[in-house]
Amino acid sequence: MGKFAKKLREYLDRNPIQYAEGDSLLDELYWCYIESNYNADPEIQEQFQKLYSSMPELSPSKFDEIFSLINALTANQEKTAFQTGIKIGFRLAAELFE
């Protein structure tokens, strides 16, 4: 396994990765995952409608502004959780194969 890893590192040193969506391999994995697993979950849509109806005093544009902030926060949390899962998986694999 060590010879393969060495050859792979040498190859990557000669041919650096050009990331399309982020600045790291973890960012790239996350964006590939999101693009291929987008799901407009009916439960999420229902929760969105509950959120919207719970703030009737807000104009649609003000609600959209607030919702954009909420969406950005949850997207960042989802990305962090995804990347942490990948890191844990790699650590587990390293421990299993040492």
Give me the pLDDT at residue 24, please.
81
A 10 A CB-CB count for 30 gives: 21
What is the pTM (predicted TM-score) of this model? 0.61
Cα distances (Å, whole numbers) of residue 51 to 6, 66, 70, 75: 52, 11, 11, 17
DSSP assigned state of 1 = -
Give me the pLDDT at residue 69, please.
92
- Is residue 32 within 8 Å of 42, Cβ to Cβ? no
d(CA 44, CA 65): 18
Give me the pLDDT at residue 39, please.
66
Give me the pLDDT at residue 65, please.
92
| CA-wise closest residue to 35 among 21, 18, 51 | 21
- Is residue 48 within 8 Å of 55, Cβ to Cβ? no
Mean pLDDT per 10-residue section of the chain, whose length is 98 residues: 80 80 80 76 84 87 90 89 90 84
